[in-house]
Chain A
Amino acid sequence: MSPSTLSPTSTLSPIAFPDVALPESARRLRAEVRAFVDEERARGTVLGRPDSWLAGWDPGFSRRLAERGWVGMALPTEYGGAGRGFLDRYVVIEELLAAGAPVSAHWVSDRQAGPSILQHGTEEQRRFFLPRIAAGQCFFSIGMSEKNSGSDLASVATRAERTADGWRLTGTKMWTGGAHVNDYAIVLARTEDAEDKHAGLSQFIVDLRASGVRVEPIHLMSGEHRFNAVHLEGVDVPDGMLLGQQGDGWKQVTGELTFERSGPERYLSTFPLLVSLLRELEQQPATAEQLAQVGILTARLHSIRRLSLGVAAALDAGHSPDTQAALVKDLGTRLEGALVDTVRSILPTPADPHATPGSHPELLAFALLHSPGYTLRGGTNEILRGIITRGLEQH
């Protein structure tokens, strides 16, 4: 028999995720967030809707959350953050998503823009943006994708030309979530032509209300307006709004993606629909078959949550577990979609967008119309699977 090739419990093998034990403080925090969510539910702002991190836009809610210290909470206190770790942040955001709370206004600022400005920004940028982000008063979009740059993001064609005191940006960003309601976008643009297309890219903080920015709506198949094409028609961006080093854009973007890919939003988008199903099943005793299907979904949710927490713990410990993050995103977002189909088969219900808002047929319709996006946003699952196998082969 060949010697065992089982890797020792090396924490960063793509299969062996670190164990997580949330501190006692997290338990208290969770209870506080639940109490807050209950209050908000009573006000009518928490509607238990699927995909609330894309569709639930409510700046007032974001601000009240920020008052509790729960926006930008992993940012240092000197910049207005709460100076708490990724695990505390994890508890807050998973509670909000499970409840279907309207978090989309601050989602990108909290998840990406904040950490990214903290890591790469100038002192001036930190002092300006971070306190505003943590106060829920400054909302960001992500300007990465373009018409011809999706999976091959390094092929971006938006250009930034040098001017006397800054840069002039020209090009069109696509699928820019929230650009019509947010304040800024972090835009990836080409600053130099280079042999290697990963070189010569840089990131800029672009004021979405600056002159030369034209935001054109793109409607989802549900009719909702969440996305836009953002035309940058010679937008002047001052020197001080270059984010990080010129030419480091690719490295910065890929670093950000680890934060983007592994959080609870990658498996909880359709969780509120499962809650709704259980509410329906409380009206009539569940059959053995229904129980079995609910149990199988629950086991998978439970297991994926552990993986996702493992990535949060690794981030907290200062690692950058990109392979694991890709793995969580693929597993989690496939579950989000499968959950919709399974719920439909557990309790056959025609999806109906015109049914009473919040009723099971209406939530089903909403989740279904959003479902193709789960495995696309943040990098398609096909691309992520390439990262996963490479990660294991190199291990």
Chain B
Amino acid sequence: MNTHTVDTGTPFIPADAYDTAAFYAEADAIAIVTNATAPDAVALPSEDASTAELLAAAREAGHRAVPAPLAETALVARPLLRCVGLPVPDGPLSYAIAPELTIRYAHPAASAVGSAGSSGDDDTLLVTGTLRRVPWARSATAVVVLATAPFGPVLFTLTPDQAVLTPGGNLAEEPRDDLYLATLEIPASRVRRISPELLDEARLRAALARSALIAGAAERCVDLTVAHTTARTQFGRPLSHFQAVKQEEARLIEETALVRTAVQAAAPLDFGGPAAHVAIAAAKTQASASAAEIARIAHQLHGAIGITQLSPLHLATTRLWSWRDEDGDETYWARRLARPLTAAALWPTLTTTP
């Protein structure tokens, strides 16, 4: 093997280089979620905020690449806990929808009716299995788990220290940790039997939260791209003066407006209703399906600087690529959206709202 001596000389770093290291160093997740006075904090909305306010906060979190589970806490975990009447712990929360867990009664009834474990003296559970890629599990105060017990769907909470945590991350290096539960006992006080509808609501909430984050990251791509194409010149003119650049930039703007509006459509709806189902399935389908185009154009127009950590663009695009797959990708939600459609139902479905 040849050895080369490479003289790197003075490193070329643009004057306005973005400090990625500082961004990740600042990733004191908990501080940002819980302490609204932290620099550049996006405050966790209050518990009685409307869905529209929660979505706006989630979009803001996506826009700023907030290193904390703000959307997960505000739009998913807290409302679910409130629905079932469990206390809402302070701090960042996470969730896992995990039908694959093995769940038994910790105290099976002596005279069980039906198959073993189908009834218990109380709802204290023994849970075994792995919760995969739980967002921010390592920094969450509690994880809300939705699963299927022998007696039907349940919701329970656990703290990350009760599990064996294997750290993981997505393309944006946001924590996505596996939690292994080894016959973990969950006291009945932390278990609630839930309806299948609530299990579905959890999926819808997670998908909507993720869509709002995507909308925010998409807007970041627009802001950064417009700033770049107006500031950078080639052939003596700003990039934004070239027809070909305008064409691409307009598509980026359009795709972003489309996602934002699709998310917004769900804001006034009641989570249980059929209208919310359509609006959220459409929003996540659209958000996930648009992510590729948004990231592609933003990178193309940034030129080489965009593929480095010198530009903050990566904060947005790596999240777009991750979030489009999380909580159901576009194929999953597109099928859910399409399954009930017939020739006669299509137009009425599209006009259910507003």
Contact = CB atoms under 8 A, between A and B. Distances in A.
Contacts of B39: 1
B341 A276 contact: no
Nearest to B352: A302
Nearest to A9: B56
- Of residues A5, A22, A286, which shows the largest number of chain B Cβ atoms within 10 Å of its Cβ? A5
Nearest to A296: B334
B257 interface: yes
Given A2-B312, A30-B351, A278-B342, A388 B337 contact: no
A4 B40 CA distance: 8
A286 B334 CA distance: 13
The residue among A295, A299, A300, A330 with the most chain B CB atoms within 10 A of its own CB is A299
Interface string A366-385: 00000000000000001011
Given A275-B347, A393-B240, A307 B257 contact: yes
Interface stretch (B106-114, B120-128, B136-144, B261-269): B261-269
A197 B116 CA distance: 87
B286 to A, nearest CB: 5
A295 B354 contact: no
Contacts of B184: none
A: contact size bracket: 35 or more
A300 to B, nearest CB: 6
A298 B240 contact: no
A306 B264 CA distance: 9
A292 B260 contact: no
A304 interface: yes
B350 A327 contact: no
B64 interface: yes
Nearest to B249: A389
Contacts of B258: 300, 303-304, 307, 331
Contacts, number: 178
B251 A296 contact: no
A302 B219 contact: no
Interface string A94-124: 1000110000000000000000000000000
A15 B335 contact: no
B94 interface: no
**Residue from B56, B219, B279, B335 having most chain A Cβ neighbours under 10 A:** B335
Contact of B285 (A15, A21, A296): A296
Contact of B262 (A294, A303, A309): A303
A331 B341 CA distance: 23
Contacts of A271: 347
A14 interface: yes
B253 A15 contact: yes
Interface of B: 22-23, 26, 39-40, 56, 59-60, 63-64, 216, 219-220, 222-223, 226-227, 230, 240, 243, 245-247, 249-251, 253-254, 256-262, 264-265, 267-268, 278-279, 281-283, 285-286, 289, 312, 330-331, 333-339, 341-343, 346-347, 349-351, 354
28 contacts: A1-B23, A4-B63, A6-B216, A17-B257, A19-B264, A19-B267, A19-B268, A94-B351, A274-B346, A275-B343, A275-B346, A278-B341, A294-B338, A295-B336, A296-B330, A296-B334, A298-B338, A299-B262, A299-B282, A300-B258, A302-B279, A307-B258, A382-B247, A384-B250, A385-B246, A386-B246, A386-B250, A389-B246
Q: Which 3 A-B pairs have the closest CB atoms?
A: A295-B334, A385-B250, A295-B338
